[in-house]
């Protein structure tokens, strides 16, 4: 049966993603057995996923990938790591070669420091290391994460990568880690 699926996808050129696929991503794995385990894990957790053929430019040797709701990538990745099947990569269907933002923008307010990663901003009081604000973002975990971060010291606050669920949570996690790096004694 797996061979049949492989044949079907080998014949297809995925072509450009349609608008309906714009919020979908692909999880890439080392081998087919991992894909099957990942599929089972995510289906049991209730995620809207399906097994597809990856586009040629991102093939890793495994001819299957798991299509998933891209925005929920942080939560999904955590589930797979807990199940022992972490993906090699998670990429957007709309642009398989797109990479996560790696550009940080820093603003120094004197007593406060703000770090922006993509659409997320984190602000810390320099003297105390206390997180005073979280702004930006649009996914529903942002207000949830803000409530858990604000008022806590950087070294006591829960990492947004551990408590967030979406790409906004992931971006906030990057800002959080960059802030820790900048506030650590060198």
Instruction: State the residues that interact with another protein by CB under 8 A.
Output: 19-20, 22-23, 25, 69-72, 75, 92-95, 98-103, 105, 107, 109, 111-112, 114, 116, 118-121, 123, 125, 132-147, 150, 164-171
Whichever of 38 and 113 has its CB closer to another protein, that residue is 113
CB of 142 to another protein, least distance (A): 7
The three-state secondary structure class of 168 is helix
CB of 80 to another protein, least distance (A): 16
Whichever of 41 and 166 has its CB closer to another protein, that residue is 166
Whichever of 84 and 151 has its CB closer to another protein, that residue is 151
Burial of 84 per CB tally in 10 Å (0-12, 13-18, 19+): exposed
The three-state secondary structure class of 122 is strand
CB of 65 to another protein, least distance (A): 16
CB of 91 to another protein, least distance (A): 9
CB of 45 to another protein, least distance (A): 10
Q: Give how far Cα 52 sits from Cα of 2, 38, 40, 44, 139, Å.
A: 11, 13, 14, 18, 26
Give bridge partners of residue 50 from the DSSP assignment.
Answer: 67
Side-chain-side CA neighbours of residue 186 (13 Å): 2
Whichever of 36 and 136 has its CB closer to another protein, that residue is 136
Burial of 13 per CB tally in 10 Å (0-12, 13-18, 19+): exposed
């Amino acid at each position: 049966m797996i061979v049949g699926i492989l044949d079907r996808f080998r014949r297809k050129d995925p072509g450009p993603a349609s608008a309906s696929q714009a919020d979908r991503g692909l999880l890439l794995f080392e081998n087919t057995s991992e894909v099957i385990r990942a599929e089972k894990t995510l289906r049991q957790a209730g995620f809207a996923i399906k097994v597809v053929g990856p586009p040629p430019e991102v093939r890793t040797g495994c001819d299957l990938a798991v299509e998933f709701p891209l925005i929920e990538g942080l939560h999904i990745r955590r589930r797979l790591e807990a199940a022992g099947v972490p993906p090699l990569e998670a990429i957007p269907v709309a642009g398989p070669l797109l990479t996560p933002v790696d550009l940080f923008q820093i603003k120094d307010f004197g007593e406060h420091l703000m770090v922006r990663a993509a659409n997320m901003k984190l602000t810390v009081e320099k003297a105390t290391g206390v997180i005073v604000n979280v702004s930006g973002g649009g996914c529903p975990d942002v207000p949830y994460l803000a409530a858990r971060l604000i008022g806590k010291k950087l070294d006591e606050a829960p990492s947004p990568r551990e408590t967030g669920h979406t790409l906004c949570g992931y971006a906030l996690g990057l800002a959080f880690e960059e802030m820790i790096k900048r506030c650590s004694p060198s």
